[in-house]
Structure 1
Amino acid sequence: MKSKITHLTRYAAAALCCVSVFACNDLKELEDRVDSLENRVTALETQIPALNENLEAISELMDGAKFITGITAVDGSENEYTITMSDGESYTIVQGQIGNTPQIAVEDGYWVVDYEGDGTFVPITEVGAEDGLTIAAVPQFKVSAEGNWQISTDGGKNWVDVLDTGGQKVPALAEGSDFFKDIAYDEETGELTFTLSDGQTYTFTVSSDFVCQILDSDGNQLTGTVTFTAGISKEFNVRMRGVSDVYIQKPDGWKATLEDIDASGTEEVTAVLTVTPPASVADAGTLQTKVSADSDSDLVLHATAAASDRSIFAKMTVEVEAATNVPQAAITAGEVTERNVSFTVTPNSNVTSWKYMLLPASEEAPADAAAFDTRATTVEGSEEKVLTLDKDADGTALVAGTEYTLYVLAINTVGEVDVTSISSASATPMYDTYYAAYEAGMDITIAGKTYSETVFGAGQLISATSEDIDLSTYISGKDNAILFLEQSGEHKFYINANTAISGNIALISNVSENPATFNQDGKYIAIRSGSLAFKDIVIERGTSATYLTNNNSATATADAILFDGCQFKEMKNPIFAISGNSTSMAIKNIGIVNSSIELTGTSNIQFFNLGACTALNTVEKITFENNIVYSSSGNASNQTPCQIFSYNNNTAQSDGNTTISVCNNTFYNVPGQNGYIRFYHVNEMKMQNNIFYSTQTSGSQASYCFASFSESQSADAVVVSENIAYGLPGNWTIAINSSSNMSTVIPNPNNIAKSDTDPLAVKDTESGTFTQASGFENYGAQR
């Protein structure tokens, strides 16, 4: 059907009818006519919505962009059905007479109307259009205060009177002709057939192999608004079949989880959806009750098909019930030291008293008021209070590096409400500097690897306060060097020549809020053995086209190359590149986490380029999590493609036990032109909860998640799911079909379905700031 079917309208002359002209000779005649008008309008009030909903439903179906996912007969009616579309919208269609409305049908992709009632249909057109046909909204009808038909061609914004061929207004009558002459649904074939008033027949298939429906307590598809009590969860069954992935979009302040269950097969399965409203009505904000695609009150399950590129949107409209006298207490975590944590507790005006307990975060949270036992402290009144605590609820001194949670129970002894849901906030006592923590015996973790004074010896504090500091002598030839860096002004750290290391080297900003800067400036660090780690360091690559590290003249496979909380500035070249004289040795542990990586240019940038390395089976782990990777030079025409891990697939390899995790990253204008991960064989790989984003609109750029080249690679070992893809001219493809070996791991479908909704609310390439839009908080980098 032509797309203009949905929107070709004009207010034009309507159906002929008898128009009564009267003169008011006496009061009785006037009263009779007023009663007649009121009776006619009342009779039509329940019929007009059915007419407009019929028009909207047939428009959506013939547009072809959506499909029917469910159909149910309306209880107590033999001629009404509720159909649900793939976008989650529902329509009630009615077979039967709906007043003396103009008879509307469809011909050659246009709305047409029979103005004369004689079977002659003409297109509905819009005044002012050169060809008389233009895109507008689906026609809508209503009855004016005078009891005459009116028509809207702009979605109900403006209304004009329907006129007969004599130019007279047409009175609305309660009896007339059918919009649908017949509606028939064949359950065996799954076909729904409409016959319009002009006799034309249209048949649509109700999807049965791809289903995602939220159910009510009776097992029927959920409709209407679901009302919640603040802070109290509800569970719903979700019927699924043929579903690959389900993404949850929810209003601000709400929480929702869907039971992890395999719904990709042909058998119908049921998963449990748990929905939790905000803890207070105020936190819920203003929730609209109207169901619409962009409504702030819709909780949406976006299901993608396992066997096609189709999508279903199952919707639930939610609201928090109004309540009075509800006590609430907001908690804000404050400053911490190595011995103390502080919180500001702000009760609302309904609070008469409140209790609090500080517990280790690892301890079970109090479930109800009874759990606030003798360990809890009571505070009277509703004044704001700052708590500075050095002991937990059991009287045990706080331990630096251990997370603690403050739980507050707000109480109102006035009225029927006694308590609210429990509020909480967490904080971790910490030393002011990493060096002080390390010297005090605390472990420091860098991308999963633990550094302790017991194992690696004493740390060294190095300050660049009056000049730039050359680190070459601090790291070259050292068995272990745990360096804590602090700087002031414009001073930085650097190496004055290519520097080889053979021990365990860690460069750590002493204060994470004031990160130290390491300027590579064309020099590289050769890792001959041991490990190299960076924590909270700003890495400036400089203008020289040189890799940051390599394994030149290596004597052993490196233990680890790790980056945690780092900022890579204007990166143009690899972080690591294999050396031609050391291709028989690789890296056991590769990790980049919690970092920001700025790329420039349009050439493919490989983070870890193992090239002709023959020892990929010695790579044990690759971790790439919670990172923001973005191009500061990408635009609508060009992007900066990148690869996290790559090698020359013509190089002979042996199967290994590599584990790869690429999760919760934000990729912005950096497509995986040759696959983000290009490996030989993995024991396990997960690529989940990432946001893949592109603003490119021209060309045919595509992006690929991975490629594998081992003949024995198991498809079950690779999981690419629950990712969000947005933009890009080409597809966001999961696996590259680059060799015959790939046939074992290419999924079906092999594309990540593109989101119609922008998943990013902030996209600032100058500051490197990217934040998720509402409903996408669980995807991308978690900052």
Structure 2
Amino acid sequence: MKNFKSLLPFLLMLFVWAGCDTDDLRNDVDELKNRVESLEAQVSAINDNMNAIRVILDGSKTISSYTSENGTYTLTLSDGSTIALTQGSEGQIVMPDITINENGQWVLNGEVIGQATGNSGITPKFNISTDKYWQVSFDGGKTYEDVLDENDNKVAATTEGNVSVSDAFFKDVKVEGDMLKVTLKDDQSYSLPIVADLKANIVDPTTGFKDGVWTIGYGETVTTEVEISGDNYFVTVPAGGWTATLSEVKEGKATLTVTAPAQASTLSRATADNSTELVLQVNKGINWAIDKIKVEAKTVIASYKALYDAGQTLNIGGVEISKEKYGEATLVDADKTLTDKSEAYGVFFVNPGVTLTYNITGESSRRMIVIGNSDLGNTACFKLAQRLQTNQTSNPEDIDGHFVWQNVVFDASSLTQGCMVAYTAEQRSVVFDKCEIKLPKGKNLFEVTNNGRYVKNFVMQNCKVKVEANSNMLQLGDNNTSDKFEMLKVVNNVFYAETPLTNVKLYNGQNSKIASIELSNNTFVNLQSTTSGYFYGTVTSSIICQNNLIYCTNVSANQVIFRLKDNDTAKLSGSCLKNIIYKDGTLNWQLFYGGKMPVTGGESAEILTENPFTGGTFDLSTGTFVPNATYAEYGAKFE
């Protein structure tokens, strides 16, 4: 655990200051290192054991083979995966009391903490905090909370001094005939069959598979490989029009062919949510091996360019894009770099896995429309190797002044300046839809520096934005007093930083005016705004702010979402309802600066005392944040 290791340099300094002998110092450091590594190994073994007992309880797999060494069993399962199971030894850890009750629920120190069996079962994961107390996670190690005893006191993880205690998770582990039998410390016994040559494994599909879900277009037929070994095998599918077949097994492999329903299922939501698994079952004698994969049917576009060429109008963030209007488009099916502005004036469809790079120095673009060509994986990339200067020109055509990106990774991470800058007075639209946006560290997404320049409509929807350092999405210079900004629309996005940042804004234009703003169903993680707000400027017509979720710890100052200059007491149209904020400490976080409510019928944001992601998903490494069922209506939701 890196938290323990991070103590070593500090302790080393203390030893030096104390004037320790070099050999004593080395011995002390080695002893501490060994102790830390021992604790890490023991915690790792406990978590492996938790995973192993969940597999045994699930009963959908068998053991194909196993090895045993120094009290640790390494099990190869019927789906090809491996797990480790350790009986335990004398060690330094004081084990929390973990059992399973008659209802198939985990019981931790006498308290039920979750279901252990069935489809809703979870696998708790344990950790030791820097102050050596037990912590437990219910979301795979993304967030942890303290383990408490019956008096609500934190539970110590280690003993004082050199006292050794048993860290054994199991009372007994042994192989009896063709069964692996484990006995917990409360004498409950569970077993898993050992069956050679029994295998059921659905290989992860190469197309349409993401975050554990296989997405297939309505009426589409797709395939993946399966690995099968046994006497008999078959596949079952969800209700609602799904079909699946298996080819003949050759050398332990077969082809699984799946066809999605021709249209959306008419099942109730409850039924549909419980019927999304495709199941492969293989038996050998009386034993069965099972593997599952989640499937979903949705409208999937295999080629947006084909729709464009067929005359269909694509509406992206209010911008209508059609062949009739824009002419022939370019299909980018291999990596391509634009080096001259004449090349950049067009509509580009970029295939999955392909990168279109903008490397035009000191020139301006009249328009830029880039669309990921397929819904089957958001892996098309638009890379900025140079800052893009937007230039509608003084005599624009109707198709000029639109800068649109959809369904691409927008990668500007290598820049040392802002991503885009307005070069002339009016830019009609800047739109990001279904994009993953990688910003340059500490630099802005779009800048309007000179007075009189503006963007009529700035739209960001269905995007994920990782922020590396304090920066702004739309930055206006202090001398920009334009009143021609019409709309800022920020809907269904995730904005996040891996560590808390202290000053991040969506719109920073304190001396400008904008007609309307919509801020709905966004998730903000680790982004503080200060009292100048996520939005700093003047709104003249309406504000919609609803169903946003803000999560921030280590809050360093009072915060607001809106800092409205010049109209703090005005009454605007719109609605400001159902916004939630989870924070730590006593510092304030308000919807509007000063606690004012300029929108008729609005309400203050709700400050939460419980973490909305406990029991949900909170993953800073991927930017995946799904609140628990209580707060499911808040924040961004991606299909």
Report the TM-score when normalising by structure 2.
Answer: 0.52
Aligned match for 1:644, one of 506, 520, 524: 506
Q: Tell me the equivalent position of 1:456.
A: 326
Q: 1:336 to 1:619 in 2, by over 3 A?
A: same
In structure 2, the CA distance between the partners of 1:641 and 1:334, relative to structure 1 (3 Å rule), is closer
Match of 1:498 in 2: 362
SS state of the match for residue 437, structure 1? helix
Task: Tell me if structure 2 keeps the 8 A contact 1:355–1:408.
Answer: yes
| 1:436 and 2:306 aligned | yes
Matches within 5 A, 1:219-238: none
Stretch deviating more after TM superposition (607-616 or 762-771): 607-616
Match of 1:445 in 2: 315
Q: Cα distance, 1:623 vs. partner? A: 0.9
Contact 2:349 2:370 in 1 (8 A): yes
Matches within 5 A, 1:56-75: none
Matched with 1:676 is 534
Tell me what 1:608 maps to: 474
Match of 1:302 in 2: none
Partner of residue 336 from structure 1, selected from 198, 210, 217? 217
CA–CA separation in structure 2 for the residues paired with 1:341 and 1:487: 19
Q: 1:482 aligns to what?
A: 347
Give the corresponding residue for 2:549.
691
2:265 maps to what in 1? 406
Give the superposition deviation at 1:734.
1.2
Aligned to 2:631: 776
Change beyond 3 A, Cα 1:748–1:720: closer
- Structure 2: how far apart are the matches of 1:631 and 1:541? 16
Q: Deviations along 1:271-319, whole A, 9 cap, x unmatched? A: xxxxxxxxxxx99999xxxxxxxxx9xxxxxxxxxxxxxxxxxxxxxxx
Q: How many Å separate the matches in 2 of 1:558 and 1:461? A: 25
Q: Gapped runs of 5+ residues in structure 1? A: 1-155, 159-250, 253-281, 287-295, 297-331, 349-353, 358-384, 391-403, 410-419
- 1:546 to 1:665, Cα distance in 2 relative to 1, 3 A: same
Query: Are positions 1:661 and 2:518 aligned together?
Result: yes
Q: Per-residue displacement from partner, 1:91-141 (whole Å, max 9, x unpaired)?
A: xxxxxxxxxxxxxxxxxxxxxxxxxxxxxxxxxxxxxxxxxxxxxxxxxxx
Structure 1 residue 680: Cα displacement: 1.1
Give yes or no for contact 1:682–1:717 (8 Å, CA) kept in 2: no
| Pairs aligned (count) | 382
Whether 1:707 aligns to 2:577 is no
Deviations 1:516-558 (A, max 9, x none): 3233234232333511011122222234431111122x1x421
Other-structure match for 1:509: 372
- Structure 1 or 2, whichever has the larger Rg, is 1
What's the CA shift for 1:430? 4.3
Q: Distance in 2 between matches of 1:586 and 1:525?
A: 13
The CA distance in 2 between the partners of 1:424 and 1:452, in whole Å, is: 39
Q: Answer whether contact 1:590 1:621 (CA < 8 A) is retained.
A: yes
Q: Which residue of 1 aligns with 2:580?
A: 724
SS of 2:325's equivalent in the other structure is helix
Equivalent position amino acid for 2:459 in 1:
G
**1:14-65, CA deviations, whole angstroms, 9 ceiling, x for partnerless residues?**
xxxxxxxxxxxxxxxxxxxxxxxxxxxxxxxxxxxxxxxxxxxxxxxxxxxx
Counterpart position of 1:757: 611
1:567 to 2:447 alignment:
no
Are the aligned partners of 1:586 and 1:613 in contact in 2 as well (CA < 8 Å)?
Answer: no
Q: Offset of 1:347 from its aligned partner? A: 8.2
How far did 1:449 drift? Answer: 2.6
- Please show how residues 65-144 of structure 1 align to structure 2 within 5 Å: none
RMSD of Structure 2 on Structure 1 (CA): 4.2
Which sits farther off after the overlay, 440-449 or 677-686?
440-449
In 2, Cα distance between the equivalents of 1:660 and 1:508? 25
CA displacement at 1:446 relative to structure 2: 2.2
Cα 1:333–1:448 shift into 2, 3 Å: farther
Summarize the Cα distance change of 1:389–1:679 in structure 2 as closer, same or farther, 3 Å threshold. same
User: Do residues 540 (structure 1) and 411 (structure 2) align?
Assistant: yes
Return the offset for 1:595: 0.8
Give yes or no for the alignment of 1:619 onto 2:490: no
Q: Which runs of 5+ in 2 are unaligned?
A: 1-108, 123-137, 139-212, 224-233, 243-256, 277-295, 394-400
User: Which amino acid in 2 is paired with 1:561?
Assistant: V
Partner of 1:523: 387
SS of the residue corresponding to residue 629 of structure 2 reads coil
Match of 2:464 in 1: 596
What per-residue deviation string (whole Å, max 9, x for no partner) do you get for residues 601-654 of structure 1? 3x3x1110122465643222211111111113x15xxx24211112133x6x6x
**Do the aligned partners of 2:349 and 2:373 also contact (CA within 8 Å) in 1?**
yes
- Structure 2 CA distance for aligned equivalents of residues 355 and 568 of structure 1: 36
Q: Name the amino acid aligned to 1:594.
A: N
Q: Provide the rounded CA distance (Å) in 1 between the counterparts of 2:391 and 2:119.
A: 52
Deviations 1:439-463 (A, max 9, x none): 1223323234332222222221123
Matched residue, 2:497: 631
3-state secondary structure, aligned to 2:510: coil
Q: Tell me how far apart the structure 2 counterparts of residues 388 and 611 of structure 1 sit (CA, whole Å).
A: 52
Structure with greater strand percent: 2
Give the Å deviation of 1:423: 9.6
Query: Which amino acid in structure 1 is aligned with residue 420 of structure 2?
Result: T
- The sequence identity of aligned pairs, in percent, is 19
Find the residue that maps to 2:539 and give its secondary structure. coil
Cα offset, 1:345, TM superposition: 11
- Counterparts of 1:733-748 in structure 2 under 5 Å? 733-737=590-594
TM-score for both structures, normalised by structure 1? 0.43
The structure-2 alpha-carbon separation of the partners of 1:484 and 1:615, relative to structure 1 and needing over 3 Å to count, comes to farther
Assess, with a 3 A threshold, how the Cα gap between structure 1 residues 574 and 744 changes in structure 2: closer, same or farther: same
The answer (yes or no) to whether the contact 1:527–1:549 under 8 Å persists in 2 is: no
Q: Distance in 2 between matches of 1:439 and 1:456?
A: 11
**Aligned-partner SS, 1:461:** strand
Look up the equivalent residue of 1:722 and give its one-letter code: K
Conserved in 2, the CA contact under 8 Å of 1:464 and 1:487?
Answer: no
Q: Is the 8 A contact 2:365 2:390 kept in 1?
A: yes
CA distance change for structure 1 residues 750 and 341 in 2, over 3 Å: closer, same or farther?
A: same
The 3 A distance-change label for structure 1 pair 495 and 559 is same
Q: 1:722 to 1:683 in 2, by over 3 A?
A: same
**Letter aligned with residue 324 of structure 2:** T
Q: In the TM superposition, what are the counterparts of 1:235-254 in structure 2 within 5 Å?
A: none
* Closer, same or farther: CA 734–746 of 1 in aligned 2, 3 Å: farther
Q: CA 1:628–1:388 in structure 2 vs 1: closer, same or farther (change >3 Å)?
A: closer
Shift of 1:749: 7.8
Residue 453 of structure 2: SS of its match in structure 1? coil
> In 2 relative to 1, CA 485–613 (structure 1 residues): closer, same or farther, beyond 3 Å?
farther
Distance 1:471 1:595, change over 3 A: farther
CA distance in 1, matches of 2:240, 2:564: 57
* Counterpart in the other structure of 1:469: 337
CA contact (8 A) 1:585 1:615 kept: no
Distance 1:450 1:333, change over 3 A: farther
SS of residue in 2 equivalent to 1:669:
strand
Q: CA deviation at 1:387?
A: 5.9
Whether the aligned pair in 2 keeps the contact of 1:584 and 1:613 (CA below 8 Å) is no
Q: Structure 1 residues 517, 704: CA separation in 2 closer, same or farther (over 3 Å shift)?
A: same
Cα separation, partners in 2 of 1:709 and 1:451, compared to 1, 3 Å: same
Contact 2:378–2:408 (CA<8 Å) still a contact in 1? no
